A and B are shown apart, each in its own frame.
Chain A
């Protein structure tokens, strides 16, 4: 069963942008695409922990600001020739609000 918690208004994150959610075990980046989808990923690039929230969002991917790895927002996987995986968390929009699944975030702290 999922335990959705209300994080913020969708409009608090710019289109093709990201903001951070702080948790006890580090930051989760919440992305918003041009098509108003939201995705939540660890804010750490699999290459050298670059802050993904500071990257450029295009389509359903983000380019890491440090060395331009392109990470899929949907799967968390590095695209192209690069190999690596970022943890993703369930996220959705409900009536203009961004919701994250608290249980998943919690599992993250246990893991």
Chain B
């Protein structure tokens, strides 16, 4: 006797089950319900339909003829509303039918974030053909679209809408796109490619509300930024569609619970597809659903079969964004990374290896070998034999490693190599072609690297790339083991290639590690924040502890706290507040420093925010006694009190300190102002020293009084305080822009020459431009870090205290 099989949901999973049954001529009498007004189509191809590369007709899997040929009774556009397990019937909007076996294949429903305005017209999800058509319709009038969710679905929607001429912004909650499939580096490349096609991407963007009265007008973010929107697409995730099963009293966790034969807790009811949960796992890609379908068809025909989930791989169907991710590339112990980058082609590959087996792979740019790697992962192939070359893919077994010069080879001809003289790569190449085959000839013909000299390394690399084997590259010290490039090379790359994030630098400069090390990260963080003050956000995790915690770590792990005393001047009230704080927090040592400050030594980590708060309340801010930045401006009493004084050295020192504080520099920066050549403030052994004379101010730079002791060299003499301010800002900015990280001014001066620095500040236009850039940066960085950290004290507090639990 033929059995009655009722199927709820005509999606990709149930469609495959039916194909197997009919192929085997299993002889079921099938009734098929679908809430959508149509039968089974290839849902994953909706994105090409959205972008216009395909039509709905192209992606239909089962047409009317197919259903008829297989005698399927179809109820499309019909919602099943209830299952009666005792009577073995299902009820739909069109009536009740009986079943012998029931198959639930209801897929999943898009998750809708519960914010105000989510129900406004113009807010759509992305799940079926109707959604796709609604988006196509909306895009006809152009305008702005906001896509919430930077995962697979959201990005495919965004790319499709951009293709159809909308102005698209993607909002993503996490730090980088598709964070479940991609690591940070690949996420960065993806973002760059999307931005190239005009899509705006905002990460760490949390939606607070959707705005509009009759229909959607905009989106409000948690940080109060508002975005205009004519269309909002919500693609933040999916939930298994389990309502029917729950109402029918079947066992449901996150999905409908099934065993390895896809049976539910009722022996006559089966479930397949995205609506099921097996062994704690949910499924959101078709590959495992097809495996399920096969097992289920066998089960229905009484053929023994067992479903086992396999490794999965993901690709994004956006033309031009080639990415591939498979396996598990994050969690777990005992794992190793192999990273390969080819900046020339925008390629990134990372393999994660555990016990000589590849367990995860992320690729961007060139994914041709994706399936080969996926095979290695799935088959758990032992790769110890080919470990050194495996990253290059199947074609390269035994091939050559990557070219360290590829970063430079990849630069376009208009990439600026020498910043001082504005010389591009193309000009250097032309000069080489015209016969300048060594650095000296190039310098004299093009002026490239003839000024401050920091681009010498890059110019040499252009020579090496252009001349090939004819040129032997002098060996310059790379920053660290993570890269072949020197500090100077990387700085030039950051400027000329407009690299504005750590992953951007790692990719463009061919970093060999996934995220740098303790040597290069602080340097890069400094270069980025000094070159792109408005675009780059300081990364605390790339700073040494002193700068991250805004206090000097001591050998016993406690910290020292030094409040700022402008120009070394204090007041009785400030001194009382310092004394009170020292008492309150039981500070073991209070010391007067060489920079005319008071140092509270031995403060405990968790007390830091509280002691800062007290000092803040008394009007004091951080003295930055820990920073590679402006430390102190030491002064003498000058004309206020001293009979020799020629100018108001104290007042000038205070002015300088108020203008310069908070700025980050390659190394620490100490200033002093003495009121006459007797030089009581010891200005001539500071990084920048000012000695007042009758006719004005002598500004000298490059002193040191540490392991090296150096007297400053005279930079210039100026007549007014205003000019002192400008010259000091300009020389500080030039030092910020050009020096190598961890070089004091004297070391930088030895490299570029005093004359070059003098040229910078005597040319009034250059000086003014430097001052302007310095002031711009200070709008961001002249802030009291103490106040900021008092407001957010979490990092200083323990994450948890387990003393209670341990006592139990």
Contacts and interface: CB of A to CB of B under 8 A. Distances in A.
Interface of A: 5, 7-8, 12-17, 19-25, 27, 30, 34-37, 39, 48-51, 54-60, 63, 65-66, 68, 70, 74, 92-93, 98, 102, 105-106, 109
A58 B513 contact: yes
Contacts of A21: 798-802
B672 to A, nearest CB: 30
A36 to B, nearest CB: 5
Interface stretch (B330-338, B441-449, B627-635, B653-661): B330-338
B514 A59 contact: yes
A94 B631 CA distance: 44
B805 A5 contact: yes
A93 to B, nearest CB: 7
Contacts of B549: 54
A65 B549 CA distance: 12
Interface in B9-23: none
Given A15-B541, A19-B798, A58 B516 contact: yes
26 contacts: A8-B799, A14-B540, A15-B541, A16-B541, A16-B542, A19-B798, A19-B799, A20-B799, A21-B799, A21-B800, A22-B800, A22-B803, A23-B803, A34-B515, A35-B331, A39-B333, A49-B557, A51-B605, A54-B553, A56-B544, A59-B515, A66-B553, A70-B518, A74-B335, A98-B799, A102-B802
A35 B518 contact: no
A109 B184 CA distance: 38
A68 B544 CA distance: 10
Contact of B515 (A16, A25, A98): A16
A60 B514 CA distance: 10
A37 B522 CA distance: 22
Contact of A109 (B515, B542, B806): B806
Given A23-B802, A27-B798, A54 B330 contact: no
Interface of B: 175, 183-184, 329-335, 337, 513-518, 521-522, 540-545, 548-549, 553, 555, 557, 605, 794-795, 798-803, 805-807
Contacts of A93: 331
Given A15-B541, A16-B541, A21-B801, 15 more contacts: A17-B795, A19-B798, A21-B800, A24-B806, A37-B332, A50-B557, A51-B605, A55-B518, A56-B521, A58-B518, A59-B514, A65-B544, A68-B518, A70-B518, A74-B335
Contacts, number: 119
A12 B329 contact: no
A68 to B, nearest CB: 7
B806 A106 contact: yes
A48 B513 CA distance: 28
Contacts of B548: 54
Contact of B807 (A16, A24, A98): A24
B522 to A, nearest CB: 7
Contacts of A35: 183, 329-331, 514
Contact of A23 (B184, B557, B806): B806
A67 to B, nearest CB: 10
A89 B806 CA distance: 15
Nearest to A14: B541
Given A20-B799, A21-B798, A49-B557, A56 B183 contact: no
A2 to B, nearest CB: 14
A74 B330 contact: no
Nearest to A56: B518
A12 B792 CA distance: 12
Interface of chain A, main secondary structure: mixed
B363 to A, nearest CB: 16
Nearest to A61: B517
Given A22-B800, A66-B553, A109-B806, A34 B518 contact: no
Nearest to A68: B518
A71 to B, nearest CB: 11
A65 B513 contact: no
A82 B110 CA distance: 53
Q: Which residue, of A21, A35, A102, has the highest number of chain B Cβ atoms within 10 A?
A: A35
Given A19-B795, A37-B331, A70-B518, A56 B542 contact: yes
A14 B800 CA distance: 15
Contacts of A105: 802, 806
B755 to A, nearest CB: 37
B541 A55 contact: no
A24 B808 CA distance: 12
Contacts of B798: 19-22, 27
Contacts of B335: 60, 74
Contacts of A8: 799-800
A23 B805 CA distance: 9
A51 B557 contact: yes
Nearest to A51: B557
Contacts of A49: 557
Contact of A7 (B330, B333, B800): B800
B808 to A, nearest CB: 9
A35 B329 CA distance: 8
Contacts of A48: 555
B396 to A, nearest CB: 24
Contacts of B807: 24
A35 B330 CA distance: 5
A14 to B, nearest CB: 6
Given A17-B541, A37-B332, A105-B806, A12 B518 contact: no
A80 to B, nearest CB: 10
Contacts of A51: 545, 553, 557, 605
A56 B547 CA distance: 12
A44 B522 CA distance: 23
B204 to A, nearest CB: 11
A15 to B, nearest CB: 7
A38 B803 CA distance: 21
A8 to B, nearest CB: 5
A7 B798 CA distance: 11
Nearest to A102: B805
A17 to B, nearest CB: 5
B773 to A, nearest CB: 28
Nearest to B513: A59
B799 A13 contact: yes
A92 B486 CA distance: 38
Nearest to B539: A16
